[in-house]
Amino acid sequence: MDDGNFRQWRSFFDLTFQKFGLVNHIDGTVDAPAMIDDPEWLQVDSCIVSWLYSTVSKDIWSDVYKPRSNAYTAWTAITGQFLDNSLQRAIYAQQEFHSLFQGNMSIDEYCGRLKRLADTLYDCGAAVSDSALVINTLRGLNNKFSQAIAVLSTMKPPSTFLYTKSYLLQEEHRIKHSLQMEAQTALLAARDTPPTTKSASAPPPPSPTVSGATGGDRRKKRKAENRQRQSASDGNNSTPAPPPQWPAPYNPWQGVVQAWPLNAWRPGVLAPRPGAPPPSAMTAFAAPPPQHDAGTLPPCLYSALNNMSLNASAGSSNDWFLDTCASSHMASHPGSSHQDGTPPM
């Protein structure tokens, strides 16, 4: 039932019946029960039944077999398996016929399937003309046959189905031959091509130098190149650089302490305690700042700090007192214009 060869089977038997003059055994023109007394007719009829049963599949035979069947009964039962419900069969066959595409099928398989569908439609009473069969064949072809479609669709008069199939078979053979030639050419080209060697990368050419450039220009150029390399390395480094650490400003008065001995004074403001040495200034100061920060101090103060010594001996007339930087020298006397020996306020 699924082989699609009913048309071939029926055509073979039609020719056999006509060749031997046996059409009246299967067309119903002769009443078989009336011929029961004709042994020759009965012998020929039994031979036809044997032909029919021996050329169908076992499934079909089990469906159509009846004991003591004549040729007309067996022929009608077999053809009815393929031609009953002809309208429904024609609908399905026509739908498949107009939606069939070649895909991966060869030209022989594609055209053969279309022809079987056209024969089915013919048997069901919905025959397809030869020109419609050609048009539907060109419609479902693969894209690789686009050149053949252009040629066949412009032929005058239109080509038949047999010529179309023959042309497509030759075109299929030409495409296969072209693909083989291309593959062989590519293989020969790959075999003849020498292997490429990876050339060593040449070092970058040295930057041109100016003969008349001075030493300062060369130093500037080297500094610019160093900055470029540093910026490139900083850009490649994923870890961000820490912020610059700025030095703390130097305080010139840090570490300088003015100390006066408390036991050198009495409640009186203008006179010292008897037997006590006159008050003297005791100055403690930190080490001088580094040389590169000396410029931050006033010149007079820095000079005084370098030359001052701690001398706190009693009754010494060489006691030194820090000037107020009103002038650039150190005074060796404790007061102003008081020359009577009383300490100043």
Looking at residue 211, its pLDDT comes to 47
**Is residue 26 in some structural domain?**
yes
Taking alpha carbons only, the member of 316, 285, 314 closest to residue 301 is 285
**What is the enclosing helix (H) or strand (E) of 50?**
helix 39-54
Looking at residue 14, its pLDDT comes to 93
Q: Where a domain ends, among 189, 218, 247?
A: 189
Query: Are 136 and 171 part of one and the same domain?
Result: yes
Q: How many domains does the chain fold into? A: 3
Query: Are 44 and 125 part of one and the same domain?
Result: no
Spatial neighbors of 106 by CB under 8 A, at least 6 apart, are 172
Query: Are 58 and 129 part of one and the same domain?
Result: no
Q: Could you give the CA distance from residue 149 to residue 155 in angstroms, rounded to a whole number? A: 10
Query: Are 72 and 94 part of one and the same domain?
Result: no
The 10 Å CB-count burial string (b at 16+, else e) for 170-187 is ebbeeeeeeeeeeeeeee
The size of the chain, in residues, is 345
Looking at residue 275, its pLDDT comes to 57
Query: Are 36 and 76 part of one and the same domain?
Result: yes
**Is residue 32 in some structural domain?**
yes
Alpha helices in 124-214, H assignment, sequence order: 130-139, 146-152, 161-192
Containing domain of residue 23, as a range?
6-83
**Is residue 243 in some structural domain?**
no
> What interhelical angle do 130-139 and 107-123 show, nearest 10?
140
311 contacts 319 by C-beta, under 8 angstroms? yes
C-alpha 91 chain-centroid distance = 48
Query: Are 306 and 292 part of one and the same domain?
Result: yes
Query: Are 35 and 121 part of one and the same domain?
Result: no
Query: Are 76 and 92 part of one and the same domain?
Result: no
Query: Are 92 and 69 part of one and the same domain?
Result: no
DSSP state of 321: B
76 contacts 27 by C-beta, under 8 angstroms? no
**Is residue 194 in some structural domain?**
no
Q: pLDDT tens, position by position, for the chain (345 residues)?
A: 777 788 889 999 999 999 999 999 998 888 888 888 899 999 999 999 999 999 999 999 999 998 888 999 999 999 998 888 888 889 999 999 999 999 999 999 999 999 989 988 988 889 999 999 999 999 999 999 999 999 999 998 989 999 999 999 999 999 998 888 887 777 777 776 666 655 545 555 555 544 444 556 677 778 777 777 776 665 555 555 555 566 565 565 555 555 455 444 444 444 555 555 555 544 444 445 555 444 555 565 556 555 554 444 444 444 444 445 554 445 555 555 555 555 555
Query: Are 96 and 60 part of one and the same domain?
Result: no
Q: Where a domain ends, among 59, 83, 107?
A: 83
Looking at residue 98, its pLDDT comes to 93
Q: Could you give the CA distance from residue 345 to residue 330 in angstroms, rounded to a whole number? A: 19
Q: Could you give the CA distance from residue 152 to residue 145 in angstroms, rounded to a whole number? A: 11
Q: Where a domain ends, among 135, 168, 189?
A: 189
Query: Are 54 and 26 part of one and the same domain?
Result: yes
